[in-house]
Structure 1
Amino acid sequence: MGESESSITDDPYAVLQIVLNPDGSLTRPTIFPLSHPRAEAEQPHHVFSKDVPLNPSKKTWIRIFRPHFSTPTTPLPIIIDFHGGGFILHSAASAPLHALLERAARHVPAIFVAVEYRLAPEYRLPAAYDDAIDAVRWVRDQAISDLHRDTWMTPDLADFSRCFLMGSSAGGNIAYHAALRALDLDPPFKIAGLILNEPYFGGEQRTESELKMAQDRILPLNVNDLMWQLALPGGAHRDHEFCNPITPGSHHDRVGSLPPCLVRGYGGDPLVDRQRSLVRMLEGRGVHVLSRFREEGYHAVEFFDPQETPAFLTDVHDFISSVNSGR
């Protein structure tokens, strides 16, 4: 590592290319361009997409991805997806995520609902969890009401008995907490499974993998600390329940009621020890967990290296196929 690279790594704001403004907001870089949804009239495309308002007062919305079927042979599972970015970066419209979900909708196949949630520090946690539950409620309401049902969510297209929550990195954290909160929905709505891809959790005590990879190029330790500092409620530390799932919290007693979980990780990810601890905790509470850890790879590798994407999509496909729909 050269001197200039080392000096940048020492400044987490510079690594993330963000500026903290006097009013507490962030000036964010345009790391990834934004993609527009593909209308049904745009041919030839194998997957159509469109944006739908979620909560106008919060300026949140969802992007729905639907494989190009006039009517599928059987209704498709629904996957509500939460993007990564340490709770502070990126969008449901970020070009790499849009491209990945287009590919996923074809490969699984499934209807994907990508959620544009509010970012920290302007909106600290649990704002993202609240937005996630808004998205779950939106899907639930499509299932129980014909009055304002979206044309892409009709029973002949969408199988509401197979609704999954999925997220990568911070999105995995959001999916986990949204699933816990979904247990209390009234009227209820069953989540069939969780897909936690390299889920982003933390804690005050450093893990071996965090210390070993403190200078990681994707998620160095000081960047990790800064993102939690910006995302957690004011005054909270990294053993807060939003950060550390091992910590008893308001929903901790409901963990055993979670549906089957797929947890994925890589040996080159500083968070891998925490992800393995999450698996042990879930299994200890009686949750059925399918763990897929690969020694090769690093945090968010499937977004940076297209050759790694098929393994991710295969894991998602196989997990969904293995989960009993309850029908």
Structure 2
Amino acid sequence: MSNPTLQPPSTTTDPYQWIKIQHNPNDTLTRNLEDPHTSPSSDPTLPISVLTKDITINNSKKTWLRLFLPKKATVSNQNNKLLPLIVFFHGSGFIVTSAASTRFHDFCVEMAETVEAVVASVDYRLAPEHRLPAAYDDAMEGLSLIRSSEDEWLTKHVDYSKCFIMGNSAGATIAYHAGLRVVENVKDLEPLKIQGLILRQPFFGGTQRTESEVRLENNPHFPLCVSDLLWKLALPIGVNRDHEYSNITVGNDVGEKFEKIKDQGWKVLVSMNGGDPLVDRSKELVKLMEEKGVEVVMDFQEDGFHGVEFSEASKAKNFIELVNGFVSSFSS
């Protein structure tokens, strides 16, 4: 990976207008973007393929998760067929949208149906009102809740030995950091057993630009100035992008954690697109993990941009099929 030292992005794009936010003096955001939400529905008499409901994680933090249960599982359960569990974290730069956002709700519905899995989509606290590591902490609290929950959708339908931590964009970054924490003491999550990480276009950063960031500086789907602003709003005040919360090369024990991932036998799926400014950082993650012996499945598509699966149905379908193959590769 090349590391050219550059001036700030030269784009004329206003990142605040691009995201449709206002940053207030008290370090809160006024969020003006259109973000349609979908309510959960657990009525089995409705013509839906996947049932959904919300479960509180932490009342005081207003965190919760949305469960997605394929309706056919309620029938096949008579044969004691248990389903893998995918714990999903949505993207949007740590600062906007939620697990109820229609784009993520619909994505999880399709994934639950295609993969035949129970999906738990975690709604975590947003920055800058709750700067990192708040979202990383919420991820762990969500996993802990799932481990101990008595909810029958989990206890009756989930194979706790087949759990996957997944996310897209900033959600993939959350999934990555959750994995690094979990692997330090996997017994804390028993009976949940993590089998792998699924990282779709993970959002990593650093003060040194990569070749893909330079090449795609003014990319209309994810301009570099927007990436810089997201990290400014998400990271603790006073630190830069060369912090362990954003830069995968920072931290003395990262290599040791990758070795623990290898020792646990986890597999890691990293999916990326050539038109995404973040692609080089994903490639670097693959390289660092493989150097430590982690089994990595790399999905690289030359075409496509950041978040393409949320605007092109065929890309979403192809990626979910990839997830299906990855999850199915693990024996019961």
- Structures share a fold, TM > 0.5? yes
- CA distance in 1: counterparts of 2:269 and 2:32, whole angstroms: 32
- CA distance in 2: counterparts of 1:89 and 1:250, whole angstroms: 31
2:287 aligned partner: 280
2:215 aligned partner: 212
2:273 aligned partner: 266
Moved more, 164-173 or 314-323: 314-323
Counterparts of residues 171-250 of structure 1 (less than 5 Å): 171-183=171-183, 184=185, 187-189=188-190, 190-249=193-252
Residue 255 (str. 1) matches residue 262 (str. 2): no
Counterpart pick for 1:141 among 130, 142, 148: 148
Counterpart pick for 1:117 among 117, 121, 124: 124
- CA distance in 2: counterparts of 1:63 and 1:242, whole angstroms: 25
1:152 aligned partner: 153
CA deviation map 1:303-323 (0-9, x unaligned)? 111121111111100001113
- CA distance in 2: counterparts of 1:11 and 1:178, whole angstroms: 32
Aligned-pair RMSD on alpha carbons? 1.6
CA deviation map 1:25-77 (0-9, x unaligned)? 00012422110001224511110000110011100000000000224352000
- CA distance in 2: counterparts of 1:275 and 1:22, whole angstroms: 34
- Aligned-pair distance for 1:225? 0.4
- Aligned-pair distance for 1:235? 1.1
| Cα gap change, 1:8 to 1:209, in 2 (>3 Å) | closer
- CA distance in 1: counterparts of 2:91 and 2:61, whole angstroms: 19
1:51 aligned partner: 54
2:320 aligned partner: 313
TM-score w.r.t. the length of structure 1 is 0.92
- CA distance in 1: counterparts of 2:132 and 2:11, whole angstroms: 28
CA deviation map 1:92-112 (0-9, x unaligned)? 000011111111111001000
- CA distance in 1: counterparts of 2:238 and 2:331, whole angstroms: 42
Paired residues, number: 312
Q: Which stretches in structure 2 are left out of the alignment for 5+ residues?
A: 1-9
Q: Which stretches in structure 1 are left out of the alignment for 5+ residues?
A: 1-6, 143-148
- CA distance in 2: counterparts of 1:180 and 1:240, whole angstroms: 15
The runs of 4+ residues in structure 1 deviating greater than 6 Å are none
Identify which of structures 1 and 2 has the higher relative contact order when contacts are C-alpha pairs closer than 8 Å and 6+ apart. Answer: 2
Contact 2:212 2:278 in 1 (8 A): yes
CA deviation map 1:8-37 (0-9, x unaligned)? 953111111100011110001242211000
- CA distance in 2: counterparts of 1:8 and 1:207, whole angstroms: 17
1:3 aligned partner: none
| Cα gap change, 1:8 to 1:225, in 2 (>3 Å) | closer
Counterparts of residues 1-20 of structure 1 (less than 5 Å): 9-20=12-23
Contact 1:136 1:182 in 2 (8 A): no
Counterparts of residues 82-93 of structure 1 (less than 5 Å): 82-93=89-100
CA deviation map 1:201-260 (0-9, x unaligned)? 011110000000000112111111000000011111111111111112565521222221
Q: Residue type matched to 1:153 in 2?
A: L
Moved more, 64-73 or 210-219: 64-73
| Cα gap change, 1:128 to 1:252, in 2 (>3 Å) | farther
- CA distance in 2: counterparts of 1:131 and 1:188, whole angstroms: 15
SS of the equivalent of 2:212 reads: helix
Residue 28 (str. 1) matches residue 31 (str. 2): yes
